[in-house]
Amino acid sequence: MKILFLSHYFPPEVNAPATRTFEHCRQWVRQGHQVTVIAAAPNHPRGRVFPGYKNSLYSEEFHEGIRLIRVWTYITPNEGFVKRTLGYVSFMLSCIIASLFVGKHNLVISTTPQFFNGLAGYFVSHLQRCKWVLEVRDLWPESIVAVGAISNPKIIRFLESIESFCYRKADQIIAVTKSFKKHIAERGACPEKIDVIYNGVDLKLFEQDALCHKSSIAKELAIDSYAPNHFIAAYVGTHGMAHKLDTILEAAEILRNHPNIRFLMAGDGSERQRLQAIKMERQLDNIIMLDQLPKHQMPKLWQLVDASLVLLKRCDLFKTVIPSKIFESMAMSKPIVLGVEGEVAEIIEQSRSGICIEPENAVQLAKAVLDLHDNTNPEFGQNGLEFVTREFDRQELALQFLCILERVNSNSGTPFSGTSTFPSTKARSI
């Protein structure tokens, strides 16, 4: 097949959408398919183009067999709803125009976030005269309403009408959680055309290097305050409005008299500067803050960590999400402290890979970290590794996704299972 994939994000960006898109497309290329990705110049999360790249009208390169087209986008820091929307709409329009020059394809896939990138698939599929597969990685506009980014009822209703339009018009929908599938069906999509392909992890990337010592890793990452006896509880990822990372600062304040415990916050985002200012103001020397690291350094960072913190703000919408960082934590055998309710909590409890706490509860977070510090039993980490290897290997999930694409392309009436549930059997080989 010739597959055209529309994704606002792509490596060297290291957020979850970029990683998922790249790892799926790479696997499809390995299976003999031709994959073209249209993406923006890398700029997430700061809204500045990465060194070595230009925000040009149209450029072409190849990335591990994937044909990558980068198109012009209005790029801006994360500074308000209007500017962000202009960026999203500009990328949608650039995708539509670029699709006229990339050749004919059998399928077009568009993914969210962001919202307008998903909508671009509708127009591109008509221009390409092919089937449209919509991948829903985030519920828009619900997610931006939940963090307070928009509140105008008319704008919300307008965006919800576009959301429902996309769900009705897509030939196939791929959701990343069972809760998303339920929501999408309630918004007008036929349940039979919705499948679930969970996020996962590239197990080979996150294989641990037994010869790599923690002290040498800390030196390489320029963590001057690290000591070999430190217990490191780390949040790794976007520092955004949805994550309520003030909870970590409050927990660090509670545990400031425990000299062997350190909190590490690695990443970037709209909240990072504010959190840094609070850290300095409160003199929280037990918090280490690192900039966003490239993907190839993530396994080394995880080797330095003793416990993984996965947090979101308290919100009913976030009960439907499964943060992809839990799979990296499991792959590195790290116990998880989860401050998210809902479907992801079921995974942590079923896998017996960590401790679940209430969202935004700093007291419970501090207690969980202290409990893990006092108990060196590796059971949580080993349980997580076994579970993610069995159920969330990205290579196997990519093959499940490919099965669905082949079915859509052949227009077969034979339905898929409707979900790649866990526990699940391995996907067939292609």
pLDDT digits (tens, 9 = 90+) for 391-409: 999 999 999 999 999 999 9
* Distance (Å, whole) CA 387 – CA 78: 36
* Distance (Å, whole) CA 201 – CA 389: 9
* Distance (Å, whole) CA 169 – CA 173: 10
How sure is the predictor about 210, in pLDDT bands with cuts at 50, 70 and 90?
Answer: low
- SS3 call for 271: coil
In the prediction, which pLDDT does 78 show? 67
pLDDT of 333 > 90? The answer is yes
pLDDT of 170 > 70? The answer is yes
In the prediction, which pLDDT does 215 show? 77
Map out the domains of the chain as residue ranges. Answer: 2-200+393-410, 214-389
In the prediction, which pLDDT does 82 show? 82
pLDDT of 211 > 70? The answer is no
Averaged over 26-39, what is the pLDDT?
Answer: 98
* Tens of pLDDT, residues 226-239: 777 899 999 999 99
pLDDT of 307 > 90? The answer is yes
How sure is the predictor about 389, in pLDDT bands with cuts at 50, 70 and 90?
Answer: very high
**Burial label, 59 (beta-carbon count in 10 A; 0-12, 13-18, 19+):** middle
Determine which of 62-66, 251-255, 269-273 has the lowest per-residue pLDDT on average. Answer: 269-273
Q: What angle do CA 50, 51, 57 make, to 5 degrees?
A: 65
pLDDT of 422 > 60? The answer is no
Averaged over 313-333, what is the pLDDT?
Answer: 92
The mean of the pLDDT values for the chain is 89
In the prediction, which pLDDT does 416 show? 40
The single-letter DSSP state of residue 245 is: T
In the prediction, which pLDDT does 254 show? 97
* Parallel/antiparallel/unpaired status of strands 66-71 and 58-63: antiparallel
* Tens of pLDDT, residues 43-60: 988 889 999 999 999 999
In the prediction, which pLDDT does 337 show? 97
Determine which of 128-142, 220-234, 236-250 has the lowest per-residue pLDDT on average. Answer: 220-234
In the prediction, which pLDDT does 83 show? 85
- Prior bond of 113 cis (ω within 30°): yes
How sure is the predictor about 425, in pLDDT bands with cuts at 50, 70 and 90?
Answer: very low
Q: What percent of the chain has pLDDT over 90?
A: 71
In the prediction, which pLDDT does 428 show? 29
234's enclosing H/E stretch is strand 231-236
In this structure, the number of other CB atoms found within 10 A of the CB of residue 274 comes to 12
Most confident of 150-159, 252-261, 416-425: 252-261
In this structure, the number of other CB atoms found within 10 A of the CB of residue 225 comes to 11
Averaged over 56-82, what is the pLDDT?
Answer: 91
The single-letter DSSP state of residue 380 is: H
Is 318 within 8 Å of 341 (Cβ atoms)? yes
pLDDT of 376 > 80? The answer is no
In the prediction, which pLDDT does 115 show? 80
Answer with the residue of higher pLDDT: 150 or 30: 30
In the prediction, which pLDDT does 420 show? 46
> What is the CATH architecture assignment of 214-389?
3-Layer(aba) Sandwich (3.40)
Q: What angle do CA 104, 19, 291 make, to 5 degrees?
A: 135
Which residue type does 1 have?
M
* Distance (Å, whole) CA 426 – CA 396: 7
In the prediction, which pLDDT does 155 show? 84
**Burial label, 32 (beta-carbon count in 10 A; 0-12, 13-18, 19+):** exposed
In the prediction, which pLDDT does 208 show? 66
Max Cα distance, the chain (Å): 64
How sure is the predictor about 159, in pLDDT bands with cuts at 50, 70 and 90?
Answer: confident
- CA 391 remoteness from chain centre: 17
In the prediction, which pLDDT does 377 show? 66
Same fold for the domain at 2-200+393-410 and the one at 214-389?
A: yes
104 φ/ψ sector (left φ>0, alpha ψ -120 to 50, else beta): beta
Determine which of 83-97, 174-188, 199-213, 409-423 has the lowest per-residue pLDDT on average. Answer: 409-423
Determine which of 30-34, 133-137, 152-156 has the lowest per-residue pLDDT on average. Answer: 152-156
Answer with the residue of higher pLDDT: 187 or 97: 97
CATH number of the structural domain 2-200+393-410: 3.40.50.2000
* Distance (Å, whole) CA 317 – CA 187: 15
**Considering the entire predicted model, what is its pTM?**
0.87
In the prediction, which pLDDT does 355 show? 96
* Residue reference for tokens 């349940």: 191
Is 95 within 8 Å of 40 (Cβ atoms)? no
Q: For 128, how many CA atoms within 13 A lie in the half-sphere containing its CB? A: 27
